[in-house]
Amino acid sequence: MRRNALRLAAFGFAFAMGSAAAQGQLNIICSVQLPWCEAVVNQFQKDTGIKIGMTQKSAGEAMAQVAAERANPKVDVWYTGSGDPHLQAAELGLTEEYHSPMLSQLHEWAVRQAEQSKYRTVGVYTGALGIGYNPEILAKRKLPEPKCWADLANPIYRDEVQMANPNASGTAYATIATFVQIFGEDKAFELLKGMHRNINNYPRSGPGAIRAVGRGETGIAVTFLHDGVTEIAGGFPVKIVVPCEGTGYEVGSMSIIKGARNLENAKKFYDWALTPVAQKIGAETKNYQTPSNKAVPAPPGAPKMDEIKLIHYDFAKYGSAAERKRLLEKWDREVAAIPR
């Protein structure tokens, strides 16, 4: 333990010495909630002197931008968001191979994300999918609390459900992939069709649906459970449910963009973002994912991943560009096209 502590201290000292004279620019796309993005930017700039230009976008929108700018990248780092789009970007050659010296400090699931992508992305946090609901709205409308994924297709929930648009949201794409792995593809799409009839809106980002629940705009949302806890911590009337069938999960990830104009600064940010100091920022801004650095405990109140019935999510298959394209095209054709 003492030897590990000394190694950590030595790395921290070297990082600080290197950052004292650091300067220049870095451009990032950030796919977590805005207060978290802003806090990360402010702390990194304070620690290194490197100025950051930051754009906040959902994971699906970030992926679209990275792909569109392939020939002339305008960003250097894509910071978190569901891991499937990061894996797709890696497969398409949109991101840079990098072996961070911080890998030895990370949980196995974060390192596995790096290995699966040939070190073109890495895990920053993890969190499980689930259901969030507003108990006040359901009580007012005399509706039962949902307990299972299959409940979301029940006609009693007509106009009471929100799920993000999977073409824009990593959360929603992970939901489709989770359903296919739990139910098989045919039954999964029957469930999605039934849900579609109950959905009143498809917001652009995953957290948008649970925010609507907290503010009384809808009764039920498909959400990552940690986003539900964020709403609860903010004082909103939200409860979260681990679906009875089990659920999928994400490995929120980070990637350096291929052809980054500020490559050395991108590597500095990448290493810094995996340190305990950086990984505590999520909890400090009321986000409840489980961090990838083993020295950083999950925030108090965060869903306990070891107590959740998780499926064996096939990141290699559902993180492939071809499978994502196929499933999204099928969703557009067979689900989104149905009149509501």
Got the DSSP string for 156-170?
A: GGTT-EE---TTT-H
Please indicate, yes or no, if residue 209 is contained in any of the structural domains.
Answer: yes
* 330 & 198 share domain: yes
Whether 310 maps to a domain, the answer reads: no
- 238 and 258 within one domain: no
Residue whose token pair is 């109950």: 198
Position 10 scores a pLDDT of 41
Average pLDDT over residues 91-107: 97
Q: How far apart are CA 137 and CA 143, in angstroms?
A: 8
Alpha-carbon span 271 to 231, nearest angstrom: 30
* Per-residue pLDDT at 13 exceeds 80: no
- The pLDDT-based confidence of 1 (bands split at 50, 70, 90) is very low
The verdict on residue 70 lying in a domain is: yes
Q: How far is CA 226 from CA 117, 260, 286, in A?
A: 25, 31, 10
Q: Are 248 and 310 in contact (CB under 8 A)?
A: yes
Share of the chain above pLDDT 90, in %: 90
92 contacts 67 by C-beta, under 8 angstroms: yes
Backbone angles phi, psi at 120, to 5 degrees: -105, 0
Provide mean pLDDT across the span 227-251: 97
| Domain presence at residue 234 | yes
39 and 181, same domain (yes or no): no
**313 domain residue, yes or no:** no
Average pLDDT over every residue of 224-246 = 97
Mean pLDDT (whole number) for 62-76: 96
Place of tokens 């394209």: 325
Average pLDDT over residues 106-122: 97
Other CB atoms within 10 Å distance of the CB of residue 247 = 24
198 or 15: which carries more pLDDT confidence? 198
Domain residue limits at 283: 2-127+250-300
Residues 138 and 198 in one domain: yes
- Assess whether 47 and 170 both reside in one domain: no
- In terms of domains, do 263 and 281 share one? yes
How much is the average pLDDT of 79-99?
95
Question: Are 209 and 92 contacting, i.e. CB atoms less than 8 angstroms apart?
Answer: no
As beta bridge partners, residue 223 has 130
Query: Do residues 240 and 88 make contact, with C-beta atoms less than 8 angstroms apart?
Result: no
Same domain, yes or no: 281 and 202: no
CA atoms within 13 A on the CB side of 248: 27
Categorize the per-residue pLDDT at 23 as very low, low, confident or very high, splitting at 50, 70 and 90.
confident
Q: Would you say residue 93 has pLDDT above 70?
A: yes
How much is the CA Rg of the chain, to the nearest whole Å? 20
Query: For residue 105, is pLDDT > 80?
Result: yes
User: What share of the chain has pLDDT > 70, as a percent?
Assistant: 94
Query: Mean pLDDT of all residues in the chain?
Result: 93
Asked if residue 104 and residue 189 are part of one domain, the reply reads no
Residues 114 and 9 in one domain: yes
For the chain, the straight-line distance linking the first and the last C-alpha, in angstroms and rounded, comes to 59
The count of residues in the chain is 340
Contacts of 177 (CB under 8 A, 6+ apart): 84, 248, 313, 318, 327
Residue 109 lies in a domain: yes
For residues 129-146, give the mean pLDDT.
98
Q: What are the distances in angstroms from CA 267 to CA 70, 109, 126, 158?
A: 19, 21, 22, 48
Residue 178: CATH number of its domain = 3.40.190.10
C-alpha distances (whole Å) from 220 to each of 27, 137, 143 are 36, 9, 11
pLDDT the model gives residue 340: 82
C-alpha distances out from residue 161 to 10, 86, 90, 132, Å: 51, 28, 33, 10
205 and 255 inside one domain: no
Report pLDDT for 216. 97
Do residues 70 and 104 both lie within one domain?
yes
pLDDT band for 276, please (50, 70, 90 cuts).
very high
Asked if residue 307 belongs to a domain, the reply is no
234 and 188 share one domain: yes
Query: What is the mean predicted confidence (pLDDT) over 79-87?
Result: 92
Look at the chain and report how many structural domains it folds into. 2
- The pLDDT, as a whole number, for residue 109 is 96
**How does pLDDT run across 158-197, given as a tens digit for each residue?**
999 999 999 999 899 999 999 999 999 999 999 999 999 9
Confidence category of residue 5, pLDDT binned at 50, 70, 90: very low
Q: Is the pTM of this model over 0.95?
A: no
pLDDT at residue 83, rounded to an integer: 86
Examine residue 143 and state whether it is found in any structural domain, yes or no. yes
pLDDT for res 229: 97
